[in-house]
């Protein structure tokens, strides 16, 4: 009798493991999907901007070198800014990249309200 009583328990364990495996696969797929969504949140498809370098020139200016790649038939507006140690924006400039150009690399001098610690191209969006 003990043999027949242990067989349903073994079947339950096997079914429970399969259920956990299915749940694990579903959770893993959801995690990958969420990661892809979050990695691309706030981006405009087809437009890639990158800060190449920046150089703090003093208490009132910073130089930032940046680039943008985009579809050549679209004009985009890029925001270049500088921040202080508290990540407060101390300078900001909007740059329009006209249609007809697929890429642009430029260096901008930003006049800051106080000493900057970093500069970047923050975003580029279609107009």
Residues 76 and 36 in one domain: no
Q: Which residue has the higher pLDDT, 35 or 61?
A: 61
Residues 33 and 85 in one domain: no
| Average pLDDT of the segment spanning 113-121 | 96
Residues 29 and 53 in one domain: no
- Residues 20-46: tens digit of each pLDDT: 888 999 999 999 988 888 776 656 678
Task: Give the pLDDT confidence score for residue 101 in this predicted structure.
Answer: 87
For the chain, the domain total comes to: 2
Task: Give the pLDDT confidence score for residue 15 in this predicted structure.
Answer: 64
- Residues 122/58, Cβ–Cβ less than 8 Å: no
Residues 52 and 24 in one domain: no
Task: Give the pLDDT confidence score for residue 3 in this predicted structure.
Answer: 52
Kindly state the helix (H) or strand (E) to which residue 44 belongs, with its residue range.
none
Mean pLDDT of the chain: 87
The residue segments making up the domain with residue 77 are 48-126
Residues 26 and 54 in one domain: no
- For CA atoms 76, 82, 85, 89, give the dihedral sign: negative
Residues 28 and 6 in one domain: yes
Residues 96 and 56 in one domain: yes
Residues 31 and 71 in one domain: no
The structure tokens listed for 14 are 């096997």
Residues 2 and 56 in one domain: no
Residue 82, Cβ neighbours under 10 Å: how many? 28
Q: Residue 55's domain is classified under what CATH number?
A: 2.60.40
Task: Give the pLDDT confidence score for residue 42 in this predicted structure.
Answer: 59
Output Rg (C-alpha) for the chain, integer angstroms. Answer: 27
| Average pLDDT of the segment spanning 60-70 | 96
How far apart are alpha carbons 93 and 53 in whole angstroms? Answer: 16
């Amino acid at each position: 009798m003990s043999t027949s009583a242990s067989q349903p328990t073994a079947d339950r364990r096997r079914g429970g493991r399969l259920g956990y495996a299915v749940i694990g696969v579903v959770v893993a797929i959801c995690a990958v999907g969420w990661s892809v969504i979050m990695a691309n949140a706030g981006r405009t498809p087809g437009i890639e901007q990158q800060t190449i370098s920046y150089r703090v020139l003093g208490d009132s200016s910073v130089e930032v070198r940046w680039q943008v790649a985009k579809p050549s038939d679209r004009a985009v507006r890029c925001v270049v800014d500088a921040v202080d140690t508290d990540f407060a924006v101390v300078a900001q400039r909007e740059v329009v990249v006209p249609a007809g150009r697929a890429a642009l690399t430029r260096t901008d001098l930003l006049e800051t309200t106080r000493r900057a610690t970093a500069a970047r191209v923050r975003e580029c969006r279609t107009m």
